[in-house]
Structure 1
Amino acid sequence: MMSVSTLAQPFATNNEHLSLCTALAKQHGTPLLVLDLNQVRENYLQLANALPNVALHYALKPLPHIDVVHTLNELGGSFDLATNGEVDLVAQAGVAPSQVIHTHPIKRVSDIEHALSYGCTTFVFDSENELHKFVPYRDQVELLLRLSFPNKDAAADLSKKFGVIRADALPLLKRAKELGIRVRGLSFHVGSQTMDAGKYVHAIEQCKIVFEGAVAEGLGAMNTLDIGGGFPVSYSGQPIDIFEFCAPIRDALSSWPDTVQFIAEPGRFIVASAMTHVMSVMGQSKRGGTTWYYMDDGVYGAFSGRVYGEPDQRFYSLAHEDVQPCVLTGPTCDSIDVISDNCLMPALADGDLVFTENMGAYTWTTSTEFNFFAKATLISLQPSLMVAQVG
């Protein structure tokens, strides 16, 4: 029997998978991240079904792992890149340049040249300063202008840092035309973990006004709309029906002309539920009458999201005793390295395993080796053979 922490919900990962994670932990040690590539495939196909006329470009930022790239490339997926390292990763994986776009609105000239040398020709901009960087390459590139749609309810409001308001869009499109640079469309991102599909609908409607305004101003017809990412993942145990969630988005896009191509940039949705984390108890103590468990991973490692506002994960143990309040803390000699100070767990012994699901996004990629504690080992379960391999 398995006991769970605060938010006592059934463990979504099945017993067979849990047994495999336990066996892998015995073989490879902890901390450990187990990546299920079958689940990556399933998540991609679910979103593709929910957005049938939208080309999905996986955003590498949450989990830039080559096994994920290979899996999605085999499905015919495309990719959203933002850095030279991400360009190099898809190139190493054999992804065709025609399957990628570069969406970082701010780039060094050397970044543009690096992407062009690979074959990527679609880029994003959101300022005149950025526009001028493309003048020497105007015969090679096509751009997307990023619009800003603030969303205070998002886990991360990306419009705080990037994008222009609608009123500034046409002047920038005019300036691009004067410079002889082709702008093929618009892009936006309504923010991470957006639970209200109406945020997408509003942005889509505002973008349509800009599309129509560009034609009216004699700037030519654009042919691409990038609706970004932010598609929500459940961390509470209550499932989200992504097909139902995307229904208003499908309706909003259905009114657009057939000449417009739609793109999305899902990241978290593709990988979050595809990875399980395993850590073990290093030691324990009583502090203020509460048991503190010192784990071999923490906020400088796979739980770094606890510092900057990522959704709280739930914790599970194989023990079946009555649960008691406790603190789960990380291994480093830093007092902020506390994973959870309000957790319900059974009594744990040194060496016991603690499992966490939904650990695919912003965990492995944001981990550090602070205090010389090694990052979690990542094991990929291959889709066809389900053979454990070190990533």
Structure 2
Amino acid sequence: MIKTPAYVIEEEKLEKNLQILDNLQKQAGCKILVALKGYAAWSTFDLLEKYLSGATASGLWEAKLGNMKPWEVHTYSPAYKDDEIDEIAEISHTVVFNSFNQLERFENRVKDKALIGLRVNPGVSSAPVALYDPCAPFSRLGITKENFRADKLKNVSGLHFHALCEQLDTALERTLEGFEKNFGEYLKDMEWVNFGGGHHITRAEYNVENLIKIIKEFKSRYPNIKDVYLEPGEAVGLNAGYLEAEVLDIIDNGMKIAILDTSAEAHMPDVLAMPYRPEVRNAGKSGEKKYTYRLGGVTCLAGDVIGDYSFDESLKVGDRIIFEDMAIYTYVKNTAFNGVKLPSIVIKRKDGSFFVSREFHYEDFRDRLS
């Protein structure tokens, strides 16, 4: 039995996702990059390298992480620091700028080391909430049509857009229509285009065949485009891991409350930020099964509540609770708020054995502070 709390990445499920993505690459003639902002378990990079074309980074540290493997590393940031841009250029296949100000400031330091791209804003909102909508009013992400400068493209070889969040192929169709309407006239001079992330390709409802069709038709319209990239993060680790926690105490304050050795605030922050209700293995909604509990975190934050769940049997101290789909946007965003121990990162091998890739200790918490 593994020690809790622990993120467990299931190797077999991860590889199934990668096989779907690899088939897409082969059928559509595109390249898939893992977005490290969503999935960054470098202990599984050997497996990812077998199937994917590279990684996409949001800055220097992620670029260095991606550079652990000899694949393509694409880097985009809303703005770059002067003392980091040279190293980023050295280790990146492509550097994407968010504005013409940044392009003009740094292009001469990048052009001989990496390909240069621009992120544009297609102006099509489809994300489920404004927090995750790069095309929302007053967005800082991407150059709008009104601010685009055709006379500044001398060193630019590609355009990048990212407007989706956990969405299906139909959302890409709408976004691509807006992208071509606003920026299609500039594509004749480009060598590559990046469709960004947010594509839920490995989700059961996703129409991969339609995505293949979309990419092929796009490439036929622009035969000069050598490479089409997609950079999903969630689709790589979707449903390929879980967070296992233990019940520490059960109290009653108008309803039964189980206090766990994990935390929404610290260990699965999107539960509160998005917000959403994670699935719990073998549990139902409140009142659906015989015994209902509110699952609460171990921090002092009053709102550190994961949700209300029901179970066939009453919970007791020492029971294990498994939160599904926790390989993405968890350990990359978690914190040691309240000095709560960070969950270990564990790999469940295809033979059923467990490999503890990383355990965290007091020193990890201490050394982040001063």
Shorter-chain TM-score above 0.5: yes
Quickly say closer, same or farther: Cα 1:147–1:291, change in 2 above 3 A: same
Q: Which of the residues 78, 88, 92 maps onto 1:115?
A: 88
Q: Distance in 1 between matches of 2:234 and 2:275?
A: 11
**Secondary structure of the residue that 1:158 maps to in structure 2?**
coil
Cα deviations across residues 283-326 of structure 1 (Å, max 9, x unaligned)? 011111x100001111133221111105421113599x953332
Equivalent pairs counted in the alignment come to: 343
Kept after mapping to 2: 8 A contact 1:105/1:124: no
Deviates more, 1:101-110 or 1:309-318: 309-318
Q: Where does structure 2 lack aligned partners over 5 or more consecutive residues?
A: 358-370
Tell me the equivalent position of 1:344. Answer: 310
Please state if 1:45 is matched with 2:19.
Answer: yes
Q: Where does structure 1 lack aligned partners over 5 or more consecutive residues?
A: 1-22
Q: Distance in 1 between matches of 2:153 and 2:295?
A: 53
Kept after mapping to 1: 8 A contact 2:7/2:242: yes
**Secondary structure of the residue that 1:307 maps to in structure 2?**
helix
**Secondary structure of the residue that 1:109 maps to in structure 2?**
coil
Kept after mapping to 2: 8 A contact 1:294/1:328: yes
Tell me the equivalent position of 1:8. Answer: none
Please state if 1:323 is matched with 2:300.
Answer: no
Q: Which of the residues 194, 205, 208 maps onto 1:243?
A: 208
Kept after mapping to 1: 8 A contact 2:107/2:116: no
After TM superposition, the structure 1 = structure 2 runs for residues 211-226 of structure 1, keeping only pairs within 5 Å, are: 212-214=184-186, 221-226=189-194
Kept after mapping to 2: 8 A contact 1:291/1:327: yes
Kept after mapping to 2: 8 A contact 1:166/1:206: no
Tell me the equivalent position of 1:262. Answer: 228
Quickly say closer, same or farther: Cα 1:318–1:174, change in 2 above 3 A: closer
- Runs of 4+ in structure 1 displaced over 4 angstroms? 209-212
Tell me the equivalent position of 2:278. Answer: 313
The two structures have a TM-score, normalised by structure 2, of 0.84
Percent identical among aligned pairs is 20
Kept after mapping to 2: 8 A contact 1:31/1:377: yes
Kept after mapping to 2: 8 A contact 1:50/1:243: yes
Quickly say closer, same or farther: Cα 1:209–1:221, change in 2 above 3 A: farther
**Secondary structure of the residue that 1:101 maps to in structure 2?**
strand
Kept after mapping to 2: 8 A contact 1:150/1:157: no
Q: Which of the residues 334, 337, 345 maps onto 1:367?
A: 334
**Aligned residue type for 1:107:** Y
**Secondary structure of the residue that 2:248 maps to in structure 1?**
strand
Deviates more, 1:63-72 or 1:263-272: 63-72
After TM superposition, the structure 1 = structure 2 runs for residues 1-391 of structure 1, keeping only pairs within 5 Å, are: 23=1, 25=2, 29-50=3-24, 52-91=28-67, 93=68, 95-96=69-70, 99-118=72-91, 120-137=92-109, 138-148=111-121, 149-155=123-129, 156-159=132-135, 160-169=139-148, 171=149, 173-177=150-154, 182-195=155-168, 197-209=169-181, 212-214=184-186, 221-232=189-200, 239-244=204-209, 246=211, 249-250=214-215, 252-260=217-225, 261-288=227-254, 290-317=255-282, 322-340=289-307, 342-345=308-311, 346-382=313-349, 387-391=353-357
Cα deviations across residues 83-117 of structure 1 (Å, max 9, x unaligned)? 222122233x3x22x61111223211223212123
Quickly say closer, same or farther: Cα 1:75–1:239, change in 2 above 3 A: closer
Aligned CA-pair RMSD: 2.7
The two structures have a TM-score, normalised by structure 1, of 0.79
Tell me the equivalent position of 1:5. Answer: none
Higher RCO (C-alpha under 8 Å, 6+ residues apart): 1
**Aligned residue type for 1:174:** D
Quickly say closer, same or farther: Cα 1:112–1:154, change in 2 above 3 A: farther
Kept after mapping to 1: 8 A contact 2:34/2:52: no
Quickly say closer, same or farther: Cα 1:254–1:223, change in 2 above 3 A: closer
Q: Distance in 2 between matches of 1:310 and 1:78?
A: 30
**Aligned residue type for 1:221:** D
Tell me how far 1:369 sits from its aligned partner: 1.3
